[in-house]
Amino acid sequence: MFGKILGGILGARAAERSGKSGAGGAILGAVAGSAIRRASIPGLIALTVGGYALKKWKARRDAEAAKRKSFETPPEAAAV
């Protein structure tokens, strides 16, 4: 029970940071705690590595988009 409460609190905080509903994050956090307890060690490792790879891919994609945008914006318009 303590794990579901803690998962709900952490899920609500994560949802607030991402701009989503706090209640949805709390439900997702509570369910995630149960799912993690039932998952195997190789499954948890694969999930962690996949999440890290997704984070790095998104950061690289956002950096490239920002770089493209800086080249598209004329210097006069950027200063205003």
Task: State the residue range of the domain holding 31.
Answer: 1-38
Q: Tell me the pTM.
A: 0.52
Long-range contacts, stretch 34-37, CB < 8 angstroms, 24+ apart: 34/4, 37/3
- 8-18 mean pLDDT: 74
80 and 66 together in one domain: yes
34 and 46 together in one domain: no
Residue 56 confidence (pLDDT): 95
User: Percentages helix, strand, coil for the chain, rounded to the nearest 5?
Assistant: 90, 0, 10
Structure tokens at 73: 């914006």
30 and 50 together in one domain: no
29 and 55 together in one domain: no
Summarised one tens digit per residue, pLDDT across range 32-65 is: 777 777 888 888 889 889 989 999 999 999 999 8
19 and 4 together in one domain: yes
49 and 68 together in one domain: yes
> Bigger pLDDT: 58 or 22?
58
Residue 74 has pLDDT above 70, yes or no: no
